[in-house]
Amino acid sequence: MGTCNTFCYILDYTIYDKIYNTVYIKNNMYIKPKTKLGKWSAGLNILFLIIISVSVISVLVLKILNFDGHWWDVTVPVSFLIEMTAFVTGIISVTKNKERSVLVYFSIFVGIFTILFVLLYSLFIND
């Protein structure tokens, strides 16, 4: 991981190293996680984003489903638990295993906003 030689391309702040097949972003920060917990965190976060995206698109764009159905009562808690698992594994991966991955930090970021959304939404609910 030392100096960049003839096998590296430098574009802005990104360095691609053909030998290790990794992408570095400033100070040994990677795009993809290296640890097992980091990979779980990134994978669960991607799963959460796919579930929420498909749900919102099927309701608002395709108008196949509506938010009043029982599927929504199952989808929200399951996806929330998936994101909280991604959040916790991301924090453990960063603190314990010293993970420096953009996807893991993004997972923590999305987890924080999911917690804030649930807390703030429950304050202003009008049921």
**121 residue type, one letter:** Y
Q: C-alpha angle 76/80/83, rounded to 5°? A: 140
Q: What amino acid occupies position 56?
A: V
**Both 99 and 66 in a single domain?**
yes
CA distance 37 to 83: 14
What is the reported pTM? 0.75
- Asked if residue 63 and residue 4 are part of one domain, the reply reads no
Are 16 and 44 in the same domain? Answer: no
Same-domain status, 22 and 66 = no
Q: Are residues 102 and 60 in the same domain?
A: yes
Give pLDDT tens digits along the chain (127 positions).
Answer: 455 544 444 444 455 555 555 665 666 778 889 899 999 999 999 999 999 999 989 888 988 888 888 888 888 899 999 999 999 999 999 999 888 899 999 999 999 999 999 888 878 777 6
- What is the domain count for the chain? 2
Whether the Cβ atoms of residue 90 and residue 97 lie closer than 8 Å to each other: no
Query: Is 94 found in the same domain as 80?
Result: yes
Indicate whether 20 and 43 sit together in one domain.
no
**What range does the domain containing 21 cover?**
1-26
C-alpha torsion angle, residues 68, 72, 73, 78 (rounded to 10): -170
